[in-house]
Amino acid sequence: MKIFNRILEGLLWGLIFFIPFSTAGVVICLYLAVFVWVIKRVTLGVGEYKIATSKKLKKFFLCFRLSPNILNRPIYILAIIHLVSCLLNSDVRLELQDVLGKLYSYLFVFFLVLEVIFQYNPNSLDQVKIRKRVLNRILGVFLFSITLIVLDGWFQYITGRDFLRGYLNTGRLQASFKSSNDFAAWIIIILPVLVFSSSVKFKRISQRLIRIIKIFCFILAISAIALLGNTFSRGAWIGSLISLGFVGISGFMYREKRLRLFVILGSILISSLVVLGVSSNKPIRERLSTLQKGVHIDEVRKLLWEEAFMIIKDYPILGTGPNTYLSVVPQYKIADKNYLYYPHNSFLHMAAEVGLLGLWAFLWVMWRFFRQGIKISKKQGNILLLGLMAGVLAFLIHSFFDTNLYSLQLVVLFWFVLGLGVSMFSLDSRGNS
């Protein structure tokens, strides 16, 4: 089991590392992790089958139970709704490949994080413990990946080309991502994590190294803010500022005065830096001046949303089926009929494909995550968990204006951060790891 756990941890490292610049690397690590996980659970099941004196098959299959956590039930329902929506539509074979190959793989990222971090017996699901050293290593790899992409973004800004994929600077920074909006979505989900990582009190690490890590994270955060402005992504700016406002308001829930002041003043400081970074740059300031137009008067986006609403009206419960939007939308075209576009609203997109029932299940997952996260963060004083929640919130707000939940790189990052946040629910008080 130790060997299997180390292999899974290594594959999770690879997945974290490849997320920003290699979809092939992500897919390879993900599918290898699924394979190793199955072999691990079969091995456990065979062991339980051999020693069991009764109900041998039950003991065997119980070993395939996933990591216990508060999000399991809504995630299972979300997965079932996608499957039912697929089976009730015409091209079942194509849609089934999409459900199994995409959605279930993304959900597996969430459970892979918990599989690596948690220590428990799947046959009994009792005495769940967190492997704190493993969590530290995962956070370290995540920090390394963040550092690499921030450097890549600055390299593209200075030289005009990023050093990972060779993408040119066309006026809006995108680093190693396929678009500037994707890069902006990546920044806003990691920015609060960097800012509030200073609250973590790592064990078995020298105080000098801890101080260096905290200063380094703050420098990375400032650098990321500057890059965020140069993505010219208005939806990301909105998401980032709202999420920081959420952090500031949440700061009032902490009873300890020092902790409360740190969170509130930290959110105000970073919000001010975001605003300052935008207003001090003329091209960014001109982009910001079109914010109202981009949100309220943009006729193309308005028409795309109307198309999605018409699809939802005709298929309200279970939608048209996963991955069918582009094949269905030609019947509802009111925008440019020569081009097929997604609605650039992940929630309308989801409701169109898997119905209002599927959207409800997804929002249920988010509701449980935030409700439990706020409760645990208040109890533990875990500000890093608050930062993870803020990153997820910023990502979801940006998803209202873009296709974040349908981009492989971003949706894998989203479920990884969600799994990381859920693992924090089991940390000791004060968020020590």
Between 94 and 17, name the one with better pLDDT.
17
| Rounded Cα–Cα distance for residues 169 and 160 (Å) | 5
Determine, yes or no, domain membership for 5. Answer: no
Determine, yes or no, domain membership for 394. Answer: yes
Q: What is the average pLDDT value for the chain, to the nearest integer?
A: 84
- Which pLDDT value is given to residue 338? 57
| Rounded Cα–Cα distance for residues 309 and 153 (Å) | 37
Interval 244-269 mean pLDDT = 83
Determine, yes or no, domain membership for 404. Answer: yes
User: Is-contact 388 193, C-beta < 8 A?
Assistant: yes
Number of domains in the chain: 1
User: Is-contact 351 358, C-beta < 8 A?
Assistant: yes
Determine, yes or no, domain membership for 27. Answer: no
- Which pLDDT value is given to residue 259? 79
Q: Give the least confident one: 88-92, 219-223, 323-327.
A: 88-92
Determine, yes or no, domain membership for 235. Answer: yes
Interval 49-67 mean pLDDT = 83
Determine, yes or no, domain membership for 53. Answer: no
| Residue 139 one-letter amino acid | L
Determine, yes or no, domain membership for 178. Answer: yes
Determine, yes or no, domain membership for 62. Answer: no
Between 123 and 352, name the one with better pLDDT.
352
User: What residues contact 51, with CB distance under 8 A and at least 6 apart?
Assistant: none
Q: What confidence tens digit (pLDDT) does each residue in 86-133 have?
A: 888 766 665 666 666 677 888 999 999 999 998 877 777 666 788 888
Between 20 and 123, name the one with better pLDDT.
20
| Residue 314 one-letter amino acid | D
Give 91-147 as a DSSP string: -HHHHHHHIIIIIHHHHHHHHHHHHHHEE--TTT--S-EE-HHHHHHHHHHHHHHHH
| Rounded Cα–Cα distance for residues 117 and 113 (Å) | 6
Task: Give the DSSP letter of residue 68.
Answer: P
Residue 115 belongs to domain spanning: 67-433
Tokens standing for 28?
Answer: 């390879």
